[in-house]
Amino acid sequence: MSARLPLVLRQLGRPPRTPGLPRHLRAPCRASSGGGGGGVPEGLRGQGRLQNGQAWSSSGPGSPAPSARDSIVREVIHNSKEVLSLLQEKNPTFKPVLAIIQAGDDNLMQEINQNLAEEAGLNITHICLPPDSGENEIINEILKINEDTRVHGLALQISEDSFSNKVLNALKPEKDVDGVTDINLGKLVRGDAHECFVSPVARATIELTEKSGVSLDGKKVLVIGAHGSLEAALQCLFQRRGSLTMSSPWKTSQLESKLQEADIVVLGSPKPEEIPPEWIQPGTTVLHCFHDFLSGKLRGGSPWVHGSGLIAEGDVSLLAAALRIQNMVSSGRRWLREQQHRRWQLHCLKLQPLSPVPSDIEISRGQTPKAVAVLAKEIGLLADEIETYGKSKAKVRLSLLERLKDQADGKYVIVAGITPTPLGEGKSTVTIGLVQALTAHMNVNSFACLRQPSQGPTFGVKGGAAGGGYAQVIPMEEFNLHLTGDIHAITAANNLLAAAIDTRILHENTQTDKALYNRLVPLVNGVREFSEIQLARLKKLGINKTDPSALTEEEVSKFARLNIDPSTITWQRVVDTNDRFLRKITIGQASTEKGCSRQAQFDIAVASEIMAVLALTDSLADMKERLGRMVVASDKNGQPVTAEDLGVTGALTVLMKDAIKPNLMQTLEGTPVFVHAGPFANIAHGNSSVLADKIALKLVGEEGFVVTEAGFGADIGMEKFFNIKCRASGLVPNAVVLVATVRALKMHGGGPSVTAGVPLKKEYTEENIQLVADGCCNLQKQIQIAQLFGVPVVVALNVFKTDTRAEIDLVCELARRAGAFDAVPCYHWSLGGKGSVDLAQAVREAANKNSHFQFLYDVQLPIVEKIRTIAQTVYGAKDIELSPEAQSKIDRYTQQGFGNLPICMAKTHLSLSHQPEKKGVPRDFILPISDVRASIGAGFIYPLVGTMSTMPGLPTRPCFYDIDLDTETEQVKGLF
């Protein structure tokens, strides 16, 4: 065993190991193909053991005494350990990892690095490559480690010939703890040493020289045989201490004269044999600062030095290894600092609003969005936390939540509205204008969280939902069309489950117990085994057996037959198109289905329970569990049948594995937006995803804002946000922004009907104070609804060009009288974020008030009482009326144990009542409940009010008449 190794251990105050006993390293050398181990990131671990090295050499005259030399190393490691301990007090799970890419089996240096790292409290891993590894092999390993967020430092122990510019500059500068990249060297030369990593070898050379008692001021220093970054770092550090430095290769005719002039000689590579020892003057301080990484040799005293002050290479290597550890701790500290809340250094995009305001799509195309990877970096996302989809959108991985779990959340603001006209009142536009104002004009971190629009309204009546005017998400075509395919994934998963239901009924109707069982648990290569999901079903049935041949006939029948009652099936097929002729269909009419026909229907894709699950889940595991417990029907004994019973849970999760990741986009002013999930508010719960909100709240930091939008009026989207979404997420809102328009208030005051595609009547384009005053009753009612939950309300009046100052002032005054914290006119549509600065200031003030948030009802109340509470307290109904079918469903769900879930009312958005034509604040009406469904996976009961349809229809003139593609430029036309 090496005689040097015990010395290294003694220097650190650690007992040497017994000679002859191999000591397994925590993270020893591995081949580049990988391996397994503990304590370091998976994929960077391997197996191996130390081999005997060479004897540790003693220092020459002039070198620091061993005790002094050892104390330098001890001090560096001790200081590093103390700094790391302080960092870990606030971040207990933090432990930096140093990766060393090593070409060859230099186990002696590996052992030194390992011991120093362990003493300081770091993790270390060696990636061992063959000695003849080429440039591309080394770079491939570097690139892997660059993107591994668990590794905070990277060092190279490769041959001098392998240190090409391409290799060195493949390193990320922030992980370059040896200071070899051009960026780190450039900062050092420029004098910004505190902002960069400095070569540990060069620093060790300087420190050992000074500790040996040699003054550097005015000395002549000759650096021989050093190349690249080491040569540059040595020259820079010596010059900073007043030395006159010279560099020379070994083979030069002037070497002898240069050596005779030098006070200090630094050897950057081994001396060629042909150079005689007499060339160096007695008393010259000589330092070895090279190491043969391929052979593992630590070179000691120089045979060509006589009477000189020799500082052995072993001294430099040991101190350099300690200083590398110090750099590692600094790297970890910087990394932690970057993870903490900070004000974003966001490059906001400039707007130049035009008058008159062009079409939405013209405005969108007139702005060039930042590359989404640039935006991600600006808001603190790491490279491996995003998956880009083209240049302008990306998915964000959920691992971010774990990284930022200790970060304080920002303020949480919900945007709702008054009862809208069929044209919509601009909640998305207000949401986007508000975050543009906060971030681009007030320098406050903020995030908008929006729903993904359905293809149904996009091609039907609305034409898109990316905001409007100068408050938009861009590119609007990508926002409105497909995005990253989440709705397609939901459609595929939903319809897979629908197919599984009818197929199971068919096979159970046409096969004996034995035949059914043999097909469900087939013999494969002579072996019959239950799948994991089948074992879960056995456990649910109380059958504690794992051998398929051990089941009794009764158990076989119990396992194989779900006995679904077709009349109780609640799971429908979906399509993301408004298609009224799919509202009622007959399936199973082909002769191959053997008479298993039944009446069914299609819903719009965004009304699928899988969409609600996506919007309410908080992790991949939680989503899988929710998908599995979705109830699709009851069996003939009245017990619920779930997706888990059908064996489809894993497949649904596979189809949804990418859809769960929020989609990152940007506003016209370059501020971040999450677009994720899109449940309808009149049919489903109408809010974007919990995951998008949670990630955004971490990214904005404690002083930042997350602005999320609820669908339609406060009576629908906001009520469901509070009672369903906030229950699921555990998040507490700080403020409500209630969007109103003069147009909608005039409608509620008795104005003529408003119809999409039909020009507005003059009452809406000319001043009419009386209509506005009469219509403010709806605004007042919606403010009162928000106040039921104990959250301050700011009214945002979305100003149209036809609104007059008198009308605007009246609305704001009446809103404040009704109890709003403030009421602010907004001009973001025509001016962008600049037009909503007043709103942003009001929201910031409101959000800083103490919130007294409370839920509207206790979920333990009976289903009927919860429905009645919403109807009377929120809508203003006198009472509710249950159809026989609705009562039957309530009884069934209560008996099945689902009575303690929150309520998600499916109701028209065009009135506080169930009748769309009833405007203002209807009173003394009876709210009819025609049906009740259960979304058990999502976690709510789903009453249908009146004639509410779950499949919208197309109007006489749908929006698709105007949508087209320019086949030369491939630009989409007609979206607005």
Pair 677, 481: CB distance under 8 Å: no
Pair 797, 742: CB distance under 8 Å: yes
Q: How far is CA 973 from CA 195, 455, 702, 874, in A?
A: 50, 16, 41, 41
Strands 471-474 and 523-524: unpaired
The 3-state DSSP class for residue 560 equals: helix
Strands 123-129 and 97-103: parallel
Residue type, 48: G
| Alpha-carbon gap, residue 693 to 753, rounded angstroms | 36
Length of the chain: 976
| Alpha-carbon gap, residue 509 to 801, rounded angstroms | 65
The beta-strand segments (E) located in 811-902 are 822-826, 879-882
Cis preceding linkage at 475, omega within 30: yes
Catalytic residue among 94, 279, 800, 976: 800
CA 319 to chain centre: 40
Catalytic residue among 205, 285, 429, 908: 429
Helix pair 486-510, 649-656: axis angle to 10 deg: 160
Catalytic residue among 393, 395, 411, 427: 427
Residues 376, 382, 383, 387: is their CA dihedral positive or negative? negative
Q: How far is CA 781 from CA 777, 824, 911, in A?
A: 6, 18, 12
Residues 821, 823, 829, 831: is their CA dihedral positive or negative? negative
Q: Considering only CA atoms, which of 886, 530, 857 is closest in space to residue 722? A: 857
Say whether 680 is catalytic.
Answer: no
Contacts with 539 (C-beta within 8 Å, 6 or more apart), sequence order: none
Say whether 427 is catalytic.
Answer: yes
635 strand-pairing partners: 564
Residue type, 268: G
| Alpha-carbon gap, residue 735 to 712, rounded angstroms | 17
| Alpha-carbon gap, residue 451 to 763, rounded angstroms | 33
Say whether 674 is catalytic.
Answer: no
Catalytic residue among 479, 530, 712, 721: 712
Tokens of 520: 């469900």
Burial class (CB in 10 A: 0-12, 13-18, 19+), 369: buried
Catalytic residue among 479, 602, 722, 829: 829
The CA-based angle 256-257-258, given to 5 degrees, is: 90
Catalytic residue among 321, 493, 681, 696: 681
| Alpha-carbon gap, residue 232 to 720, rounded angstroms | 64
Catalytic residue among 4, 370, 397, 451: 451
The residue to which tokens 């790391």 are assigned: 84
Pair 530, 678: CB distance under 8 Å: no
| Alpha-carbon gap, residue 549 to 528, rounded angstroms | 8
Q: How many CB atoms lie within 10 A of CB 303?
A: 9
Say whether 491 is catalytic.
Answer: no
Q: How many CB atoms lie within 10 A of CB 892?
A: 16
CA 561 to chain centre: 42
Phi/psi of residue 675, nearest 5 degrees:
-115, 110
Say whether 681 is catalytic.
Answer: yes
The 3-state DSSP class for residue 631 equals: strand
Say whether 829 is catalytic.
Answer: yes
Q: Considering only CA atoms, which of 406, 872, 937, 441 is closest in space to residue 668? A: 441
CA-based radius of gyration for the chain? 36
| Alpha-carbon gap, residue 128 to 150, rounded angstroms | 19
Please name the helix (run of DSSP H) or strand (run of DSSP E) that holds residue 944, with its range, or none.
strand 940-945
Q: Considering only CA atoms, which of 601, 568, 605, 620 is closest in space to residue 896? A: 568
Contacts with 11 (C-beta within 8 Å, 6 or more apart), sequence order: 70, 73, 74, 318
Catalytic residue among 45, 175, 395, 462: 462
Catalytic residues: 427, 429, 451, 462, 681, 712, 800, 829
